Amino acid sequence: MLNDRFGGIFAAGEGSRLREAYPGLIKPMVPVAGRPLIEWTVRLLMSAGIKDIVILLNSKGAPAREHLKRAVPEARFVFLMKDTASSYESFRLVSQTIAGEADSFLLSTVDAFYEPSALRSFIEVAENGAADAVLGVTAEIEDEKPLWADLSSSGRIVALGEECRERKFATSGVYYMTAGVAQDMPPASTYTALRQYLGSLVRGGAAVDGALMPHSVDVDDAKDIALAERFVREHLPA
């Protein structure tokens, strides 16, 4: 259960779009308002009552690991260090690691900012529903390659990606997963991207809901840093 405070962050990507502006820094360590990106993500999860956090970093991720140990000693971390071949492999590795300990859990990308109250509401929706998985969705779409999500009137996701017709919402980088779904994930080589797997869940008839995450920001490239810092000033406690 989410009351057991389990969460995960997948941060194994190369962050190629940030590299030119921040040479020598891995993406999780890019500074936003005086703190590394990954520290903001950890503190957001902790604001929702999650202290047991599995974090996937790539083979260059030691600086992020050591920073978090110093900066957030109250969290209980499990660090996975692996150069994964795809976003799906990253998602699968973190999910299956947590599924060995928890019936359900929260996952986040390393580059997504949310209001703490919105994250808590997302968890409440997920816990009180009967879905196999819940994806955060937003109508504030600035992503160059959004993963579109069409929702029914009840909040069930009826289409993802190119199959969508309404295209009012896109996924926002936060996910609720049940252990049963996580344990049934096909091998890492099955998909080359997370969006392919999520689409297959919906097409395969799994109960996948969408929950609105207003006022979110994703940090994909250097221009997004200013947006994230404004978000911090307006929505996050010091």
The alpha carbon of 202 is separated from its chain's Cα centroid by a whole number of angstroms, namely: 18
**Average pLDDT value for residue range 215-234:** 90
How far is Cα 165 from Cα 163, in angstroms, rounded to an integer? 7
How close are the terminal C-alpha atoms of the chain, in Å?
A: 29
**Poorest-confidence range of 59-73, 156-170, 217-231?**
217-231
**Average pLDDT value for residue range 78-101:** 96
Looking at residue 1, its pLDDT comes to: 46
How far is Cα 238 from Cα 232, in angstroms, rounded to an integer? 8
pTM for the model stands at 0.93
> Pairing between strand 104-109 and 169-178?
antiparallel
Q: What are the domain boundaries of the chain?
A: 2-235
CATH topology of domain 2-235: Spore Coat Polysaccharide Biosynthesis Protein SpsA; Chain A (3.90.550)
Q: Residue 209: which of 103, 133, 150 has the closest Cα? A: 133
